[in-house]
Amino acid sequence: MYTLYCRLYQQAYRGAAYLLPWRKPELITGENSVEELPLLIKKEGINSVLIVTDKGIASLGLMNGLLLQMDAERLTYKVYDKTVPNPTIGNIEEALRIYQENKCEAIIAFGGGSAMDCAKGVGARAARPEKTIPQMKGQLKVRKRIPTLFAIPTTSGTGSEATVAAVISNPETHEKYAVNDPVLIPHYAVLDPLLTVKLPPHFTSTTGMDAMTHAVEAYIGRSRTKETIQCSREAITLIFDNLYEAYSNGESIPARTNMQKASYLAGVAFTRAYVGYVHAIAHTLGGFYSIPHGLANAIILPHVLEYYGDSVHKQLAELADSAGICDACDTTEQKASAFIERIKKLNEDMDIPAKVSGIAETDIPLMVKRALAEANPLYPVPRILTEKDLFELYGLIKE
C-alpha cells in the first residue's frame, strides 16, 4: 500500500511538472568567457551586484579577471566570501544583509555547488523576505522571480548552474535539505574551463563523480523524459572518457571543457528527472559529518546500484552500451554488473574510498528517518526502499 502511495504521488507530480515554467540558463562558454560577463551585466541595465563565493576561491585569485572587467565597466559590486561547504542558513542571512544594505540588483554565484546554493538561497530570501529558509524547504515554496542570477562554476560536478535546487544545512539540527523551485534556475551560466584547471585532483574526482551520480540517478528513475535520457547518456559517456584525464592532468583544457559540459548536462537531466536514495543518504552524511557531497555520492553510488538489483539492470545495460562498456557481455545482467564495476574502478583509480569511515551507530536511526523522509514519496526511484532497506544500506557503506 505504501509503495502504491509513493508511485501515485510521483505520477501526479510528474504530470504537474509539465505545467511548471521550466527554462535553461543562457550559456556563455569558452576560455576566458568569464570576462565577457560584466559587459552583459551592464547591457542588462544592472549597476550593483552581490558576488557570492568562498575564501578558497578568493585566495586563489580566480575572480581577478572578472573583477577587473567589473571595474572597467564601472559596475558596483560587493563580495561575500564566507560561504562554507554545505552552506548554512547563517551564510544566506549574512549575504542577504550585504545584498540589501548595498541595494544590489543581481547576484553572481562564483564557485562550486556551495556558493551556488548560498546564492540561490539569497535570491529566494530577496524574492520572499517574509519567508525564512526553513519555510521554503521542499517543493515550490518560492514562486516569485528572484533577482537575476549569474552562475560561474569552478568545479565540474554539481550542475547547480542548471538546477532548481538550493541545498542548505542547519548545523544546529544536523539537517541538510533542498529548496526546490524552477525560479531558482540561474538566468545565465558561464562555462569557462580555465576556472577549473587549478582544481586539486581530489576535488576534480569527487565533483566529477557527483555529476556521474546526477546523470545515473536521473536515468534510472521513473520520471525521465526524452531530453533527460539524452542528457544523461551524453554526460555519462563524457565523464567516463574525460574524468580520469582531468584528474591526472589538470591542465588538459579539452578534458576540463568536456567535464564542464557533462556537469551541465547532468544538471539539466536531474533537475527534471530528480535523483534518488544516493542523494538522500549523502545529504544525511553531509548534515551529520560535513562529508563533501561529491565524495559521499561517489562512495554510495555503486552500493545503491547493487542494492537495487534487477530493477535497474535494463537501464544500466543501456548506459553500458552507450558508453561502450563490456561489448563482449551477452546478457543485460552482465552489462549492468560491468557498468557498476566500471564505476568502482574509476573510484579506485582516483583514490576514492569504497566506504565511509566515522559513522556512529547511534546516528543511523535518525539518518535513516531523514533519508526516507527526503526520498519517499518524492523521488521516482526504480524501487521503493523501506526503513529496513535503508538500515542495510547504511551498514553496507559504513567502514
* CATH number for 151: 3.40.50.1970
Same domain for 55 and 187: yes
Among 141, 162, 195, which residue terminates a domain? 195
Specify the pairing of strand 165-170 against strand 175-180. Answer: antiparallel
Phi, psi of 232 (to 5 degrees): -65, -45
What are the tens digits of pLDDT across the range 152-201? 999 999 999 999 999 999 988 888 899 999 999 999 999 999 999 989 99
Q: Would you call 161 helix, strand, or coil by DSSP?
A: helix
Q: Give the cell for residue 173.
A: 539540527
Note whether 390 and 279 are same-domain residues: yes
Question: Which of 195, 228, 262 lies at the terminal end of a domain, its last residue?
Answer: 195
Shared domain for 180 and 79, answered yes or no, is yes
Domain annotation covers residue 336:
yes
Cα–Cα distance list, 262 to 157, 162, 267, 295 (Å): 8, 12, 8, 18
Residues 305-319 pLDDT 10s:
999 999 999 999 999
Based on the domain organization, do 286 and 333 belong to the same domain? Answer: yes
Q: Are residues 317 and 344 both part of a single domain?
A: yes
225 falls within a domain: yes
Question: Same domain, yes or no, for 234 and 366?
Answer: yes
User: 208 and 174, same structural domain?
Assistant: no
Q: Are residues 179 and 217 in the same domain?
A: no
Contact 374, 177 (CB under 8 A): yes
In CATH, what number is assigned to the domain containing residue 238? 1.20.1090.10
CA distance 11 to 13: 5
Backbone angles phi, psi at 306, to 5 degrees: -65, -40
pLDDT digits over 43-92, tens only?
999 999 999 999 999 888 999 999 999 999 999 999 999 999 989 999 99
Overall pTM > 0.85: yes
Domain range for 383: 201-397
Q: How many distinct structural domains can be found in the chain?
A: 2
- Pairing assessment for the beta strands 26-29 and 188-191 based on DSSP bridges: parallel
* Cell triple for 149: 542570477
Domain boundary among 129, 162, 195: 195
Clarify whether residues 126 and 42 are in a common domain.
yes
Asked if the bond preceding 186 is cis, omega within 30° of 0, the reply is: no
Say if 2 falls within a structural domain: no
Q: Does the residue 48 lie in any domain?
A: yes
Q: Helices 113-127 and 89-101 meet at what angle, rounded to 10? A: 60
Tens digits of residue pLDDT in 216-262: 999 999 999 999 999 999 999 999 999 999 999 999 999 999 999 99
Give the ranges where 83-200 is alpha helix by DSSP (H). 89-101, 113-127
215 with 156, same domain: the answer is no
Q: In this structure, are 44 and 168 located in the same domain?
A: yes
Asked if the structure places residue 15 within a domain, the reply is: no
Tell me if 28 is assigned to some domain: yes
* Model pLDDT for residues 268-322, shown as the tens digit of each residue: 999 999 999 999 999 999 999 999 999 999 999 999 999 999 999 999 999 999 9
Same domain, 350 and 365: yes
Kindly state the cell numbers that stand for 298: 561517489
Cβ neighbours of 398 (radius 10 Å) = 15
Domain assignment of residue 115, yes or no: yes
Residue 332 lies in a domain: yes
Question: How far is it, in rounded angstroms, from Cα 269 to Cα 235?
Answer: 9
Residue 137 C-alpha cell reads as 524547504
